[in-house]
Structure 1
């Protein structure tokens, strides 16, 4: 149970880091997607994207939308100085892994980026 709680706390912290400087707050995103914090927390970060409820994936998009470029992908310039150098390396690797994938739904990409980022923070590397 302690490991599950730690993973949930880290997941929430990562999402909070992303949304902290954005114009949309987490509560607004929850409300917009008709979700509760408990519903979001119930989804383990390791859950395959196909098994994640669409509302949770779109909630992820809502949180990080300010960091998207015109191409609909994460723009590292917009991320700016948020996070550590390690965060930027992990995020760059995640972009490299998912930016070229074309068969994703609108809310799959941001969820996969956050999931990849979480895994990278947890392990120090990203999973292929």
Structure 2
């Protein structure tokens, strides 16, 4: 990891792949990841950890399957939301977005249980940020 300040704008400009998070830095045992997203991800769940989202640009929708039923939260630019551990969810960005996520190092981007993966979704624990 860098011991210099990191420009999120430059970091986002360094790659084009969608749904393919890059690790910007680490905080203790957590990755700070950024991603460009558009269209739909997959329904998935993280059994042992919450998942934090911050919308840097655009708008992100997160569909949730909760005990009370299914709902969708809308996150405009600057909004944050945490999906609790064990809650099945599906992020999607109809018009595209740039997001920042905070989750334990090694957490798979497609969760512990998920549907079949479409070609546009990268199953990863985060890629190093190109320097």
TM-score (norm 2): 0.25
TM-score (norm 1): 0.25
* Structure with more of its chain in strand, by fraction: 2
* Structure with more of its chain in helix, by fraction: 1
